[in-house]
Amino acid sequence: MTTITGPGLIGLDADTLKMTLEAIRDYVGDAIPEERQLQLDHDDVCPEDVVRGMCSDQLGVQLLFIPEHYGGMGGDTFDVYRVCEQMARLDIGVATSVLATFLGSDPIFVGGTPEQKREWLTEIAERGVLYAYGATEPEAGSDLAALKTTATPVVTDGAVTGYRLNGRKQWISNGGIADKYSILARAPGGPSWFVLERGTDGFTQNRPEDKHGIRLSNTAALFLENALVPAGNLVGGVEGQGLTQAQQVFGYTRLMVAAFGLGGGWSALDRAIQYSTMRIQGGAPLSAKQGYTHKLIVPHAVRLEAARAYIEYAAGRTDAGEGAGGALNTEGAIAKYLATEAGNAAADAAIQAHGGYGYTREYQVEKIKRDVRITTIYEGTSEIMEMTIARDRWQQHLKSGGRYYRGLASELNDLHARHPDVGAATAALASGSLAGILEACRTGRLTRHQHVLLRLGELIAHAEGAGRFAGRAAAALDGALPEKADHRFDAGTLAAMSRVFARDAAQKVACDGLRWVIGAGAPGGTDGAGVTPSETSLELDAACAAQAGLVADMDRVADALYGRAGPATATKER
Ligand SMILES: Cc1cc2nc3c(=O)[nH]c(=O)nc-3n(C[C@H](O)[C@H](O)[C@H](O)COP(=O)(O)OP(=O)(O)OC[C@H]3O[C@@H](n4cnc5c(N)ncnc54)[C@H](O)[C@@H]3O)c2cc1C
């Protein structure tokens, strides 16, 4: 059974999704068992056969990304998030190679003519054509508008029959192995996407980059010297649409990279959880040491699940058709920011949790840490996410006359009235406090400091993350989580996790917010506009008071992670 859940996309039913996730696990597990992964990582080799196998009849994962109309299965955002998380759990390099085809076909998906879509999307579905997404250049990364690659029209008998591409692309996933390339180049009418075939004269690929991580993914520079593409390969047939087409899909594609952060982080953390049940130190397993679990395991599990709540929230809205034209780009940015920073921190903690063994290759966490690191860089760095988030929500704050986060706080207080156990009141505190901080920034004109603006991005992500986590925990208590959602944790555990995260968010917003409001001003105890930060100080007191019960909740989360029944059993022994 399938249902329409989004703009032209047909979602899988829960059973099909489950079977798909299992099939991916089995296929990758058989094709590249962990020892082979370590060897490929060591040798810096992309297993192209495995990537092609995944994107062919052997596994057919590419079908998820392509609408039914073009021969695919038309997975919705929720499906694709779950699949991306699963692939990342297995290997983020291979996952990147699979996603590159999806990214490469995105400009076609949002901007192609009906004929282009039929031709190019169908051949991905039916023949497993691999794509690369060629946007970044040596001098145009975060600032894509600075791109220098040119597309010069070739005019024959007064009509444009083709374009000559000249320039260089940098850090292109699948750069050395793709069959087709989406290339962003500056045409006379503005930046535009072109589809370029491998083997075109004047088009060459550099050798693979020697990278820190995702060494199972091929990353290469591309050189374009008078490479000719037919005029029909201008995506959409109109010049100047390229940056808009790229922007339109960020809300969606960043959710997929968010899912990579989630998958990588959980893969590392689950290894640490397992390891700590067997490693005996001080006469007991590490899993029984509260100082170990509550530093290296619990906070990371909580952050990852908070990120999941946000991903599922954004995926649900995308599938409800709200993301058209890039309308959910901020939500995509928040999801990516929370999940990739959490994944990165979790993988780092997993190395620490393994002690010296974690620092060796055999235990995998060292590789995962290197792999997951890329997720805070590609598809927009964390700093660009902070900027994207802060700019949009700052506008919302101004437009609403300061009521944007007061409104969210009020919704959360209502939720607290229905579900007093999910941390909603503390999440409301974070939102209310954020409204105060934003207002202090407005009166003090503090966002003229770029650093303050970006730090606001971080606080916003945490406050909104806390709100959505409380919502997800409440849905779990109501038995209303979507069938296709992750169901690893029971409602009580999610509620405890949400309370832990909400406390963290409330403390962070009040404490760090106050710090930047005061810090952006002159020495002397007032903020930049001479406004005393007394109101936000009061919220700091409230955030501190809300920490009561934190350790007991962490005990509860630890018990759930270790499958321990009943009251907290973690000890405080040394
Ligand atoms: C392994 C790998 C695979 C990749 N795959 C692809 C791909 O398939 N296709 C593709 O097109 N690209 C790809 N990329 C490129 C990737 O998206 C870019 O590296 C990324 O967007 C950052 O751009 P940059 O490297 O030029 O860094 P820069 O933009 O130069 O940024 C450097 C640092 O400055 C910060 N910064 C940048 N601008 C600002 C600002 N205005 N204010 C404050 N701080 C700022 C950044 O956050 C970062 O910390 C890949 C990169 C890697 C490493």
3-state SS record for 9-40: CEECCHHHHHHHHHHHHHHHHHHCCHHHHHHH
Residue from 160, 338, 137, 339 nearest 237 by CA = 160
Give residue 533's pLDDT: 56
Cβ of 90 less than 6 Å from ligand 1: no
Question: Candidates 41, 96, 142: which one to mutate for ligand 1, based on the most atoms within 8 Å of Cβ?
Answer: 142
Residue from 441, 409, 431 nearest 514 by CA = 441
Give residue 251's pLDDT: 84
With contact defined as beta carbons under 8 Å apart, do 156 and 192 qualify?
no
Pairing between β-strand 284-285 and β-strand 280-281 as defined by DSSP bridges? antiparallel
Q: How far is the CA of 519 from the centre of ligand 1 (A)?
A: 29
Cα–Cα distance measured from residue 517 to residue 536, given in angstroms and rounded to the nearest whole number: 9
Give residue 538's pLDDT: 73
Cβ of 269 less than 6 Å from ligand 1: no
Cβ of 173 less than 6 Å from ligand 1: yes
Q: How much is the CA Rg of the chain, to the nearest whole Å?
A: 24
Q: How far is the CA of 171 from the centre of ligand 1 (A)?
A: 9
Q: How far is the CA of 396 from the centre of ligand 1 (A)?
A: 27
Question: Candidates 130, 170, 182, 378: which one to mutate for ligand 1, based on the most atoms within 8 Å of Cβ?
Answer: 378
Q: How far is the CA of 254 from the centre of ligand 1 (A)?
A: 14
pTM of the predicted protein model: 0.96
Please identify, by atom number, the ligand 1 atom nearest to the C-alpha of residue 384.
Answer: 47
With contact defined as beta carbons under 8 Å apart, do 316 and 482 qualify?
yes
Contacts of 26 (CB under 8 A, 6+ apart): none
Give residue 568's pLDDT: 44
Give the alpha-carbon dihedral of 396, 402, 408, 413, to 10 degrees. 180
Cβ of 339 less than 6 Å from ligand 1: no
Catalytic residue at 119? no
From 85, 239, 379, 386, active-site residue: 379
Pairing between β-strand 180-187 and β-strand 203-205 as defined by DSSP bridges? unpaired
Cα–Cα distance measured from residue 106 to residue 100, given in angstroms and rounded to the nearest whole number: 10
With contact defined as beta carbons under 8 Å apart, do 410 and 448 qualify?
no
Give residue 250's pLDDT: 87
Alpha helices in 445-530 (DSSP H): 450-477, 491-519
* Ligand 1 atom 6: residue of nearest CA: 172
In this structure, what DSSP letter does residue 366 have? H
* Ligand 1 atom 11: residue of nearest CA: 135
Pairing between β-strand 180-187 and β-strand 131-134 as defined by DSSP bridges? parallel
With contact defined as beta carbons under 8 Å apart, do 248 and 325 qualify?
yes
Q: Which two tokens stand for residue 271?
A: 């290894």
- pLDDT 10s per residue in the chain (574 long)? 233 334 445 799 999 999 999 999 999 999 999 999 999 999 999 999 999 999 999 999 999 999 999 999 999 999 999 999 999 999 999 999 999 999 999 999 999 999 999 999 999 999 999 999 999 999 999 999 999 999 999 999 999 999 999 999 999 999 999 999 999 999 999 999 999 999 999 999 999 999 999 999 999 999 999 999 999 999 999 999 999 999 988 888 999 999 999 999 999 999 999 999 999 999 999 999 999 999 999 999 999 999 999 999 999 999 999 998 899 999 999 999 999 999 999 999 999 999 999 999 999 999 999 999 999 999 999 999 999 999 999 999 999 999 999 999 999 999 999 999 999 999 999 999 999 999 999 999 999 999 999 999 999 999 999 999 999 999 999 999 999 999 999 999 999 999 999 999 999 999 999 999 999 987 765 544 445 556 666 788 999 999 999 999 999 999 999 999 855 443 333 3
